[in-house]
Amino acid sequence: MKSQPLNNRQDPWKNYGSTPLVSDSVEVEDRDYVLRDHKDHKGSNWSAYINIVCVVAGSGTLGIPYAIQQGGWITILLLILSATMNIYANIKLIECLYKNNETRRISMSQVANDAFGKIGLGFVAFFFNSLSIGCPILYLILSGENFQILFKDNLGIDLGMETWVVICGSIMCIPFVLLKSMKETSWLSVLGALTTGMVVFVVLFTSLADLPNNRDNEHQLINLKNMPIALATVFFSYGGNIVYPHIEASMEHPKEWPKVFSLATATITIFYLLIGVSAYLTYGVTTLSPIYKSLPPGLALSTTIIMISIHILLALPIYQTAFALEIEDYLSINITTLAIAIPYFANVMALLGALGNGVLLIVMPILIWIKLFGWNSLNGWKEKSWVIFVLMFAIFGAIVGTIEAISALYSDMTNKG
């Protein structure tokens, strides 16, 4: 049935938050899913805001300065543009969950199935699994580097990064076992957001204090050659929509999602601008990823490493869902083994950003919305032109960024040692 224009169809937002029970015996071919009532667990707008900031603004804060180093100052505009596209696409994504006014879908996979059938479901599943497996790999790489630096420089203990990756992988199992059957508690989210905020301000003040010692560092306005891989890192830094439907479902007032999500994304963008501009201003073309590798040794460096390590160990269980582990077992993949074999934070981050988030973050939510509601449901040619631009921009970034990231990662691995 052809979708009606927005002004002629029932308001898709009016049933926000309603998750009526359906029969447990619904057949798979009916494509209906059992929805549980979580009224006793509804959270405030503040909780949703903190959850979004905690999930998204973690490792991205460490990679944004390097992204600006790769693409030049123009990357700041890409950052703001990506934030705007992210807000637009993921408000559309949540609206898709309410296309059926009688029930609420609970994931992007379900609405992809509604829109494009098994092809859409398989497509989203592929990129979802890339992130479900890839993000823990990235976090284990980062945590292994962190503890190796921390213990070697401060205590003289050199276990090697590979050993620390194994240790962190083991530590990660504890919160995963405890939390895999429950929602992330509010205090974990608050702690994760606070650690990220501390990292931002420590790097901000440390890099500015170090500016007089780095006056001779060069800067670039634009570097076209590295622009795609810089964009891929930016995409990764806004990734998180695999959990947005669950965050929105937990809200007491889910109609407030557009406002809450926009505010959270704006906060994350401010974090990125504070840490990215200050670090690149000081270290210029010598800026490294993660950014703490550019900081002078001392208390600030140790504080940054400790804070981001705490955040990582809190964030890992979010991605290690039971479904991801089933896929991991099916493919005979062990994320700790992969993290040991591929210890290259910057290029793994870029690859995940291009391969996964470039598609899941921007492209798929918009295509799903268009399929479900119809092209003519967009608000005139201004919005249609915006959608065309966003899709072309994101697809180009995803394709070229993936190629460049794979090439850089291959170069890292072949030159290892």
Q: Which of 103-112, 171-180, 326-335 has the lowest mean pLDDT?
A: 326-335
Q: Determine the 3-state secondary structure of 43 from DSSP.
A: strand
Instruction: Report all structural domains of the chain as residue ranges with CATH numbers, in order of start.
Output: 40-414 (1.20.1740.10)
Q: What do you get for the CA distance between the two ends of the chain, in Å?
A: 60
Residue written as tokens 């200050």? 278
Residue 302, pLDDT score: 82
Integer Cα distance of 224 and 145 in angstroms: 30
Q: Which of 25-29, 38-42, 184-188, 290-294 has the lowest mean pLDDT?
A: 25-29
| 68 touches 230 (CB < 8 A) | yes
For the packed helices 75-96 and 60-71, what is the interaxial angle rounded to 10 degrees?
A: 130
Residue 189, pLDDT score: 67
Integer Cα distance of 406 and 411 in angstroms: 8
> Chain-centre distance of CA 254, in angstroms?
21
Q: Determine the 3-state secondary structure of 251 from DSSP.
A: strand
- The per-residue pLDDT for range 289-347, each reduced to its tens digit, is 888 888 888 888 888 888 877 777 766 655 554 344 444 444 444 445 544 444 554 44
Q: What is the mean pLDDT of residues 133-139?
A: 67
Q: What is the mean pLDDT of residues 380-398?
A: 89
> Chain-centre distance of CA 103, in angstroms?
27
Instruction: Kindly report the average pLDDT of the chain as a whole number.
Output: 74
The sign of the dihedral angle between the CA atoms of 237, 241, 242, 244 is: positive
Residue written as tokens 């391969």? 355
Q: Which of 90-104, 183-197, 288-302 has the lowest mean pLDDT?
A: 183-197
Q: What is the mean pLDDT of residues 59-63?
A: 77
Residue 324, pLDDT score: 45
Residue 402, pLDDT score: 67
Q: Does residue 61 surpass a pLDDT of 90? A: no
Chain length of the chain: 417
Q: What is the mean pLDDT of residues 151-162?
A: 80
Taking 3-state DSSP, the helix, strand and coil percentages for the chain, each rounded to the nearest 5, stand at 75, 0, 25
C-alpha distance from residue 46 to each of 28, 99, 187, 190 (Å):
36, 26, 12, 10
Residue 357, pLDDT score: 61
Q: Which of 245-254, 300-309, 399-408 has the lowest mean pLDDT?
A: 399-408
Phi, psi of 8 (to 5 degrees): -110, -10
* pTM exceeds 0.75 for this model: yes
Q: Does residue 145 surpass a pLDDT of 60? A: yes
Integer Cα distance of 52 and 196 in angstroms: 12
Residues whose CB falls within 8 Å of the CB of residue 233, separated by 6 or more in sequence, listed in order: 63, 64, 66, 67, 70, 346, 349, 350, 353
